[in-house]
Amino acid sequence: MPKVHALLVGIDSYRLPHLNLRGCVNDIKLAERLLRDRIAPTDLVIEKRCDEQATRAGIIEAFRSHLGCLGADDIALFWYSGHGSTGPLPEGIWYAESAGMCQTMVCHDSRSDVPDLYDKELAVLAYEVVRTGATLVTIMDACHSRSAMRDGLPPDLTPRFAPRSETPPALRDLLPELVTDATDPCGPGPVPGAQLPGHVAFSACDEWELANERPFPDGWHGVFTEALGHALARLGSDATYRQVLSYARCRVEGRLLRQIPHLEAIGDLADREVFGGALRPRAAQVTMRYLQDRWEMDTGAMHGVVTGSRFGVHRTAPLREVHVADVYTQRSVVDPIDWAPDEEQQYDMVLTDVPLPPVAVSIQADPEVVLHLTETVRTTGPGGGPSPHIRIVPTTAESAFRLGVRVRQADDGRTIQVTSLDDKPLASPVPVDDRGIQQTVRDLDHIARWLQVRNLESASPALEGAIQLEVFPALPGRQRPPRDGAPAPVKDLDFAYTWTGTTWEPPSAFVRLRNTTDRKLFCVLLDLTDRHRMHADLFPGEYVAGRWTAEAGNGAAVTLSLPPDQPVEPGASVTDWLVLLVAEEPFSSAPFALPRLREMPRSSTRGARRGVTGVLDRLGLLAVQRDFEPAPHVALDWAVKTVEVTTRVPGGPHDAGRNPRTQPARG
């Protein structure tokens, strides 16, 4: 098993007080707790530099002493939370950066006669690590923005962006190796700015975006760090770097759409196990036992548990449930519901009921518009009651919710529009009148239901790795899926149109579900599009036998294309999320049907219900009953996994950026 050497750097307190932040040291505490929880003590060595310890010289010294002398197959982890910025290079090596400005990491003593730590210098440090044969993993929760900060950010959202430096540092103040590498292209060091083999780079956002921090129940954190920590806590020991990024990105985009996390790696590195497989497996089952005069479960907030959830003893009849009373980071305190557990016994538990997290809706509008919207939300749910999917909250309370959107009134007061919390439009504007208010509430309810399913979490890990979702490119002329074993499924789910000389040809792929267990499992595969459509047409629901595979779409290739109303032109792209639901018993996929935003739904199946509630309707996903006889309520195991698929037309900015640049500190 490889050893993981981690250098964790967080800076809230800067020598220049106007740069101070609030969540960076909390990020490092969270990172340390997660690493110690998932990696054996004999396989983990941690060094930390926080606040006044995180000077420019201190970070360089710790990087070299702690990460620069590792052996082959070791893992070097550099985790930075703090300000990012940009700055010009010294005149002597101006040609090392084609854009004219370098991305920088703002150290504790930066800007006080001490330069920032330049990305080109971090490339030198990174090369010193990977040339030993070790794998370097960098996690950067800082801004990469090349532009000034936007106005109008809410008070509970702080960008980790320091104003750019206008004065280049003296050449003598930078690492001497940087000067050598920049002036000698044939030298042994890396080409400045080139992505290195052996380096996996996580970044909180793209270089023209802002990385933000905000308050969470346990204090301020970077939005990306909170999401990444949640992914590392939940995913199995065989999770890949790409899977971790995909999970964390969904969580970030549940709050902010203008901050999109990224992953850079050469070759198949992104599809290798996180930290070389050093993460210890999570328990196959959630367990409950009696400790210190109370019942506790070994799963908590980092695994998706919320107060009010219910768990049941696995496959017991009559059903024996517990109510979650208090949630901590890694554990929960529960109260039995109408039964008395044996205090000497340990129980295997599965999630039986949890209210899907309501989507927080904040409103920035005139008081009468706020009142009208609020009253309409209170009567838009089943039976004329409140909607179960959305909750009106003040802007200051947004951070208490995992998912959030906003309603904004235009400056001229004539229209309102649903946006993300960072003001990216989610629906087209409508007039501020009764019909517009009604349409806005329908938009909110629709988007909320879509977000709830895309960000669905299963608290029990038992089935999370049971069904593998495999995607094979459909080669020209191939009408049937490949036989088992050839070709290998693709792991980089980024598909591109092909130019035939006269037109753009969309890509296509085969999708396969592989059961890795010895028992049959019931599966539904949902497709969630970025037009807020949700359907189960690919695999509406059936058993997959043990050690067997099933083909989605009845074995036909799935065409991955842009929506009909979106022009096929260079730079255009679309994202789909494939959400796989796995359970021990059959359930109906009907509650998940959702048309595109503002489209009329298809005629619904008789008896189908609008939306999903509880643990998807008590896995209620309501079990399918062949004879319409009520079945005994049994606590069944279930799981969910989400895979992000991007389809694009080559030739846009995305492709220009696909020549990766080595930047352990992404600004």
- Predicted local confidence at residue 658, as pLDDT: 42
Asked if residue 290 and residue 230 are part of one domain, the reply reads no
| pLDDT for res 646 | 94
Q: Which pLDDT value is given to residue 200?
A: 97
Tell me the C-alpha distance between 300 and 329, whole Å: 5
Q: How far apart are CA 583 and CA 45, in angstroms?
A: 39
> Considering Cα of 214, then 44, then 125, then 198, what sign does the dihedral take?
negative
Question: Is residue 309 assigned to a domain?
Answer: yes
Q: How many domains, the chain?
A: 4
Cis amide leading into 650 (omega within 30): no
Q: Are residues 338 and 231 in the same domain?
A: no
Same domain, 364 and 348: no
Q: Which two tokens stand for residue 628?
A: 């319409």
- Examine residue 664 and state whether it is found in any structural domain, yes or no: no
Task: Assess whether the previous peptide bond of 188 is cis (omega < 30° from 0).
Answer: no
- Same domain? For 229 and 294 the reply is no
Q: Which one, of 574, 494, 563, lies nearest residue 530 by Cα?
A: 574
Question: Is residue 621 a part of any domain in this protein?
Answer: yes
Identify the burial level of 564 via C-beta atoms within 10 angstroms of its C-beta, where 0-12 means exposed, 13-18 middle and 19 or more buried.
exposed
Residue 460 lies in a domain: no
Q: Which residue has the tokens 């239901």?
A: 449
| Type of residue at 126 | A
Rounded Cα distance between 510 and 538, Å, is: 10
Single-letter amino acid, residue 119: D
- Nearest one of 312, 358, 308, 438 to 611, comparing CA atoms: 358
CA–CA distances in Å: residue 275 to residues 70, 136, 188, 235: 14, 9, 27, 13
Query: Which pLDDT does position 290 carry in this prediction?
Result: 97
Q: How far is CA 31 from the centre of its chain?
A: 16
> Residue 405: what pLDDT?
96
Q: Are residues 209 and 74 in the same domain?
A: yes
Residue 459 domain-assigned (yes or no): no
Q: Are 222 and 117 in a shared domain?
A: yes
| Residues composing the chain | 667
**The pLDDT of residue 150:** 33
DSSP state letter for 517: S
Residue ranges making up the domain that contains 594: 467-656
What does the DSSP 8-state code read for residue 190?
P
Listed in sequence order, the residues at least 6 apart from 291 whose beta carbon sits closer than 8 Å to its beta carbon are: none
**CA angle in degrees (0–180, nearest 5) for 492-159-428:** 70
> Are 35 and 63 within one domain?
yes
Q: Which residues are within 8 A (CB) of 543 and not within 5 positions of it... i.e. 6 or more apart? A: 520, 521, 522, 523, 586
Please tell me whether residues 66 and 182 are part of one structural domain: yes
Residue that terminates a domain, selected from 353, 369, 392: 353
Q: For the chain, percent helix, then strand, then coil, each to nearest 5?
A: 25, 30, 50
In this structure, is residue 295 part of a structural domain? yes
8 A C-beta contact, residue 132 and residue 69? yes
pLDDT score, position 358: 81
Kindly state whether residues 261 and 332 are assigned to the same domain.
no
- For the beta carbon of residue 321, count every other beta carbon within 10 angstroms: 21
Residue 667: per-residue pLDDT: 33
End-to-end CA distance of the chain: 32
pLDDT averaged over 10-residue windows placed end to end, the chain, 667 residues: 95 97 97 95 98 98 96 96 91 66 92 92 94 96 55 67 85 82 54 77 89 90 95 88 93 91 93 94 87 93 83 90 92 96 95 77 96 94 83 85 93 97 95 97 94 83 87 82 76 91 94 95 94 94 95 92 93 94 84 89 47 46 41 76 93 50 30
Number of helical (H) and strand (E) elements in the chain, helices listed first: 9, 34
Phi and psi dihedrals of 512, rounded to 5? -130, 140
What Cα–Cα distance (Å) separates residue 158 from each residue in 26, 108, 154, 204? 15, 18, 8, 14
DSSP secondary structure letter of residue 66: I
Q: How many Å separate Cα 57 from the centre of its chain?
A: 33
Cβ 582 vs Cβ 639: under 8 Å:
yes
Residue 461 lies in a domain: no
Beta-sheet pairing, 558-559 with 508-515: antiparallel
52 and 102, same structural domain? yes
In the block, residue with structure tokens 């800007």? 111
Number of neighbouring beta carbons within 10 Å of residue 661: 19
Burial (0-12, 13-18, 19+ Cβ within 10 Å), 450:
buried
497-526 burial code (b ≥16 CB/10 A, e <16): beeeeeebeebbbbbbbbbeeeeebbbbbb
Q: Is 383 found in the same domain as 479? A: no
- Contacting residues for 19 by C-beta, under 8 A, at least 6 apart: 83, 106, 111, 162
pLDDT at 317: 82
Decide if 28 contacts 8 (C-beta within 8 A): yes
Q: What is the pTM of this model?
A: 0.83
CATH of the domain at 153: 3.40.50.1460
End of a domain among 454, 483, 509? 454
- Based on the fold, state whether residues 415 and 519 are members of the same structural domain: no
Does residue 666 lie in a domain region? no
Using the 8-state DSSP alphabet, how is residue 140 labeled?
Answer: E
Last residue of a domain, one of 277, 303, 324: 277
